[in-house]
Homo-oligomer: A and B are copies of this chain.
Amino acid sequence: MRLSRYFLPVLKETPSEAQIVSHRLMLRAGMIKQAGAGIYSWLPMGFKVLRKLENIVHEEQVRAGHIPMLMPTLQSADLWTESGRYDAYGPEMLRIKDRQGRDLLYGPTNEEMITDIFRSHVGSYKDLPLTLYHIQWKFRDEIRPRFGVMRGREFYMKDGYNFDLTREDALHSYNRHLVSYLRTYERMGLQAIPMRADSGPIGGDDTHEFLVLAETGESEVFYDSEITDLKFGDREVDYDSHEACRAVLDEFTSRYARTDETHDEAMFNEIPEERRRTARGIEVGQIFYFGTKYSDAMGANVQGPDGKSVPVHMGSHGIGVSRLVGAIIEASHDDKGIIWPEGVTPFHAGIVNLKQGDAEADAACDALYAGMVALGLDPLYDDRDERAGGKFATMDLIGMPWRITVGPRGLKNGVVELTSRRTGESEEMPPEAALERLAQIYAGHRVTSPL
Contact = CB atoms under 8 A, between A and B. Distances in A.
A120 B33 contact: yes
Given A447-B450, A450-B450, A451-B51, A44 B67 contact: yes
A98 interface: yes
A73 B70 contact: no
A347 B96 CA distance: 38
Contacts of A44: 67-69, 132
Contacts of A72: 35-36, 39-41, 137, 154
Interface stretch (A1-9, A183-191, A220-228, A296-304): A1-9
Interface string A51-76: 10001000000000101111111111
A159 to B, nearest CB: 13
Interface string A34-51: 011101111110111011
A69 B98 contact: no
B99 A65 contact: no
A266 interface: no
A393 B403 CA distance: 56
A201 B447 CA distance: 41
A68 B47 contact: yes
Contacts of A67: 6-7, 44
Contacts of A113: 35, 41
Name, among A5, A6, A35, A76, the residue most crowded by chain B CB atoms within 10 Å (CB to CB): A35
Interface string A67-107: 11111111110000000000000011010101110101010
A169 interface: no
A117 interface: yes
A443 interface: no
A39 B113 CA distance: 12
A76 B139 CA distance: 14
Contacts of A451: 48, 51, 55, 450
Contacts of A76: 35-36, 39
Interface string A231-244: 00000000000000
A143 B99 contact: yes
A137 B451 CA distance: 18
A42 B5 CA distance: 36
A345 B19 CA distance: 47
B71 A35 contact: yes
Contacts of A55: 450-451
A43 B94 contact: no
Contact of A74 (B33, B36, B43, B69): B36
Interface centre among A55, A117, A447 (most CB of B within 10 A): A117
Nearest to A107: B35
A75 B35 contact: yes
A41 B70 contact: yes
A36 B94 contact: no
Nearest to A76: B36
Contacts of A48: 68, 451
Given A44-B68, A48-B451, A137-B73, A96 B98 contact: no
B139 A74 contact: yes
Nearest to A139: B74
A28 B65 CA distance: 24
A50 B69 CA distance: 10
A275 B50 CA distance: 50
Contact of A36 (B65, B75, B122): B75
Contacts of A74: 36, 39, 106, 139, 154
Contacts of A366: none
A376 to B, nearest CB: 9
A68 to B, nearest CB: 6
A96 B94 contact: yes
A405 to B, nearest CB: 24
A75 B207 CA distance: 35
Given A55-B450, A94-B96, A47 B75 contact: no
6 contacts: A6-B67, A7-B130, A33-B117, A41-B69, A41-B117, A48-B451
Given A33-B117, A37-B102, 9 more contacts: A6-B67, A7-B130, A35-B71, A36-B74, A39-B74, A39-B76, A42-B69, A50-B70, A100-B143
